Amino acid sequence: MSAPVTAEVAAIKNLKQIAREEFILPGTAVCGGCGGLEGLRLAAKVLGSKTVYINAAGCFTLLAVYPYSPFKGSWLYTTMGGAAAAAQGVRDALDVLMARGKLPVEDDVQVVVVAGDGSTYDMAMAANSGAIFRGLDFWYFCYDNESYGNTGVQMSSATPYGARTTTTPVGSAARAGTEHGKKDLFEIWRAHQPAYLATVSPRYPVDLTNKFLKAKGLRGPKLFIAHASCPTGWLFEPKRSAEVAKLAVQTGIFALKECVGGAVTHTHIPRRRKPVEEYLRGQGRYAHLFEPTRNDAALRLIQEQVDRYWEAAAKAGAASS
């Protein structure tokens, strides 16, 4: 399913090789400092304007609110559960119209699903699985702000252990806030054997750009899980958005990796990982782990999870490549 369609695109080495043109224009109604938007904006610089974004209901509903749109290309706003299926419809439609001579080949576009974690990890799980299973030639950009952000920050199955949301509040009977761990979407998707699968961070623009460039040469499902630092939902000052995203990587909480042909490669290995506390402390959603009393057990659990992850990664040899 992952036959390369073009020669490998040369990777970039520094910021200054990132495209200067914007394909998603400013002035949208999403929050200032939105890490998800930053990720999508950088992705769009690789994707260009011959692109249709198929948007699941979520925060990014606000990207285009009548009569304003930020897109130089196309956009189709769909439901929380149906974006990948809609992508299937669009891809199939364009293919059949071209095959039947009803659409000039130069009018073809790339099909890109844009969906939050609530959509991706929860409601659209089956529809996504279906699209990937069918080998659909499309892109999937999941901006993971670890909650149902648009409805005011409720728990999704991407919400990490210990984070407070409005449906996992902190109380005497629930000291950690969210009690379950985050669903491992990367591994679920990996089992589907997509053409390309990667995690990206808005604070690692070169890594992000290179992953999109690499995927551009592949036909089939090209799947991205973007860490989407979210000032509004995670409760930190908007200016710290990129910093928070960076800390997630530096503490090892968010692993930058990719998977081609089943093998996982970590594209950035934090040599000396910062303690997870440095990431957690600056976010109001974790404040209860520190005040009024320190929840050592919860903090230890989070640290151990991260340590275990990287130990396993090192063992698997993935980290060495």
In the list 24, 47, 57, 59, the residue contacting ligand SF4 (rule: CB under 6 A) is: 59
Compute the least distance from the CB of residue 290 to Mg ion, in Å.
24
Compute the least distance from the CB of residue 123 to ligand TPP, in Å.
7
Token pair 């559960």 is at which residue?
81
Residues that bind ligand TPP (CB under 6 A): 57-60, 80, 115-119, 145, 147-151, 156
Site membership for other proteins, residue 13 (CB under 8 A): no
Site for ligand SF4 in 128-157 (CB under 6 A): 145, 149
**187: amino acid identity, one letter:** E
**Alpha helices by DSSP H, the chain:** 35-47, 83-99, 117, 125-133, 185-190, 205-216, 231-234, 241-250, 276-280, 296-315
Closer by beta carbon to Mg ion, 117 or else 207? 117
Looking at 29-37, 42-50, 81-89, 119-127, which segment touches ligand SF4 (CB under 6 A)?
29-37
Give the whole-angstrom CA distance, residue 83 versus residue 139: 11
Site track for other proteins across 238-257, x = CB under 8 A: xxxxxx--------------
Q: What counts of helices (H) and strands (E) characterise the chain?
A: 10, 8
Closer by beta carbon to Mg ion, 55 or else 210? 55
- Which one-letter DSSP state was computed for residue 147? S
How would you class 32 by CB atoms within 10 Å of its CB: exposed for 0-12, middle for 13-18, buried for 19 or more? exposed
Looking at 27-35, 103-111, 298-306, 313-321, which segment touches ligand SF4 (CB under 6 A)?
27-35
Compute the least distance from the CB of residue 89 to ligand TPP, in Å.
18
Site track for other proteins across 43-82, x = CB under 8 A: ------xx-x-x------xx-xxxxxxxxxxxxxxxx-xx
Site membership for ligand SF4, residue 36 (CB under 6 A): yes
In the list 35, 82, 149, 220, the residue contacting Mg ion (rule: CB under 5 A) is: 149
Give the whole-angstrom CA distance, residue 57 versus residue 208: 24
In the list 24, 34, 47, 124, the residue contacting ligand SF4 (rule: CB under 6 A) is: 34
Site for ligand SF4 in 214-243 (CB under 6 A): 228, 230-233
Give the whole-angstrom CA distance, residue 276 versus residue 286: 11
- Which residues 6+ apart lie within 8 Å of 261 measured at CB? 2
Site track for other proteins across 121-160, x = CB under 8 A: -----xx-xx---x---------------x----------
Looking at 98-106, 182-190, 256-264, 269-277, which segment touches other proteins (CB under 8 A)?
98-106
| Structural contact between residues 195 and 170, judged by C-beta atoms closer than 8 angstroms | no
Structure tokens at 104: 């000039």
Closer by beta carbon to other proteins, 79 or else 305? 79
Angstrom distances, CA of residue 313 to CA of 252, 262, 268: 11, 14, 12
Structure tokens at 152: 């005011």
Looking at 19-27, 34-42, 146-154, 273-281, which segment touches Mg ion (CB under 5 A)?
146-154
Structure tokens at 247: 């800390």
Token pair 């623009």 is at which residue?
205
How would you class 141 by CB atoms within 10 Å of its CB: exposed for 0-12, middle for 13-18, buried for 19 or more? buried
Site membership for Mg ion, residue 145 (CB under 5 A): yes
127: left (phi over 0), alpha (psi -120 to 50) or beta: alpha
Residues making contact with ligand SF4 (CB under 6 A) = 30-31, 34, 36, 59, 145, 149, 228, 230-233
Residues making contact with Mg ion (CB under 5 A) = 116-118, 145, 149
